[in-house]
């Protein structure tokens, strides 16, 4: 499986785990600020955790456990015929994935350009101490970055005051950062329904948070809710929009009884999830301890967790293939499907390398044995 799909799979599983915990446990709570932190930190953690490698920090034999990618001097013990790499299903999926990313990127750019067009067509206005951009188009009030956009002709003076206070909270608390973060996430995880559900959850929670702040400032709950019902029209997707969400759901959250503080401990689940994600990344040297073997070149240490480390040839795989093909033709023998090569790394430490072939192509490379730091092929020759 290509490395990009391994990353996407691990990140998608983490996104699913965080979203399920939020939806099942936290979404019903009225701690909207903590919910915001949980959703944003969960999203960032999901994107970064597949890139974390804890082995160098916990392994007693760091040089044996971590992947080895060093120049190697190859010595062939048996010739093999190698053909050019053939097309496989992963290539098709990779093309499909990047095509989807390109489409979603174009969509995001179009939305940003649309916002820029709206911004350039507005004028800066001040009303009762609030600064906003006066819009002439038939758009709902919305905010983006540090600007509020409002068509004053569509709303009464009473509505303008409530709307501006509502949008000012979006601006002050930098809610656009949350929106942009989840939009970028959906660009790369367009295929994953969880990323779209998470996007909706983040935007919902931001509106719940603002509604809560408005009511705490002394606004009449019923009048505020009636105003939400009255306001309707077009919406701007890439913004914190005044009536983007289903009004019924927002009114339901406003009328919900505040959650008890004893539920604050539920947010410790963020730490629990992070520990669950990190545990498989911690290598346990006691489970697969290094074992010794003797070869003609000397004593080697074998570590099972390093069996699939990737090896780079000094001149690239294609040069190695050409040499093997040439020797195979000269020998006139049937190429084997498995062989063992002896090599040494840049430090002069010898390695026995197993190579498996399929359809004339190198399918797998394993390090069978790696010399201890005190032994090298060069020192063996000197003795």
pLDDT, tens digit only, all 383 positions of the chain? 778 888 999 999 999 999 999 999 898 999 999 999 999 999 999 999 888 876 666 554 444 444 444 334 444 444 444 444 456 678 888 999 999 999 999 999 999 999 999 899 898 988 888 898 998 877 888 889 889 998 888 888 888 888 899 899 999 999 999 999 999 999 999 999 999 999 999 999 999 999 899 998 888 888 888 887 777 544 555 666 554 557 778 888 888 888 888 888 888 888 888 888 887 776 654 444 444 433 333 333 334 344 333 344 444 444 555 566 567 667 777 666 666 666 665 556 666 767 666 665 666 767 677 666 555 444 444 44
How open is the CA angle 76-351-51, to the nearest 5 degrees? 115
Nearest to 207 by CA among 240, 177, 172: 240
- Which residues have C-beta within 8 Å of that of residue 197, sequence separation ≥ 6? 19, 23
- How crowded is residue 381: how many other Cβ atoms within 10 Å of its Cβ? 8
**Packing angle between helix 221-230 and helix 193-216, nearest 10 degrees?**
130
Kindly state the tokens that stand for 253. 């959250």
Q: Distance between CA 176 and CA 162 in Å, rounded?
A: 20
| Partners of 75 in beta bridges | 342
Nearest to 183 by CA among 252, 276, 115, 277: 115
Contact (Cβ atoms closer than 8 angstroms) between residue 290 and residue 301: yes
Q: Distance between CA 148 and CA 146 in Å, rounded?
A: 7
Report if pTM > 0.85.
no
Nearest to 377 by CA among 339, 350, 341, 345: 350
């Amino acid at each position: 499986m290509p490395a990009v799909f391994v990353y996407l799979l691990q990140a998608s599983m983490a996104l699913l785990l965080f979203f399920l915990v939020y939806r099942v446990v936290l979404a019903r709570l009225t701690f909207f600020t903590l919910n915001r932190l949980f959703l944003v930190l969960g999203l960032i953690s999901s994107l970064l955790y597949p890139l974390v490698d804890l082995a160098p920090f916990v392994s007693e034999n760091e040089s044996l456990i971590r992947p080895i990618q060093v120049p190697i001097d190859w010595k062939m013990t048996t010739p093999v015929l190698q053909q050019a790499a053939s097309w496989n299903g992963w290539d098709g999926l990779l093309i499909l994935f990047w095509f989807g990313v390109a489409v979603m990127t174009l969509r995001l750019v179009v939305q940003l350009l649309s916002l820029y067009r709206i911004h350039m067509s507005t004028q800066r206005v001040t009303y009762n101490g609030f600064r906003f951009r006066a819009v002439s188009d038939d758009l709902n009030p919305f905010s983006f970055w540090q600007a509020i956009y409002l068509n004053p002709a569509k709303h009464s003076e009473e509505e303008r005051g409530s709307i501006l206070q509502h949008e000012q909270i979006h601006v002050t608390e930098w809610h656009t950062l949350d929106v942009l973060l989840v939009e970028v996430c959906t660009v790369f995880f367009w295929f994953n329904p969880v990323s779209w559900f998470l996007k909706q959850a983040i935007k919902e929670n931001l509106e719940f948070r603002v509604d809560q702040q408005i009511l705490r400032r002394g606004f009449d709950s019923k009048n505020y809710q009636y105003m939400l019902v009255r306001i309707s029209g077009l919406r701007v997707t890439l913004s914190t929009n005044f009536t983007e969400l289903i009004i019924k759901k927002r009114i339901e959250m406003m009328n919900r009884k505040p959650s008890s503080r004893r539920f604050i401990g539920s947010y410790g689940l963020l730490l629990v999830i992070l520990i669950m994600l990190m545990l498989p990344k911690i290598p346990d040297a006691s489970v697969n301890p290094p074992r010794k073997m003797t070869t003609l070149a000397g004593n080697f240490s074998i570590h099972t967790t390093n069996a699939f480390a990737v090896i780079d040839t000094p001149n690239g795989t294609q040069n190695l293939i050409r040499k093997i093909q040439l020797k195979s033709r000269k020998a006139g023998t049937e190429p084997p499907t498995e062989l063992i090569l002896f090599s040494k790394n840049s430090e002069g430490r010898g390695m026995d390398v197993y190579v498996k072939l399929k359809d004339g192509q190198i399918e797998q490379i394993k390090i069978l044995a790696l010399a201890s730091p005190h032994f090298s092929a060069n020192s063996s020759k000197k003795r």
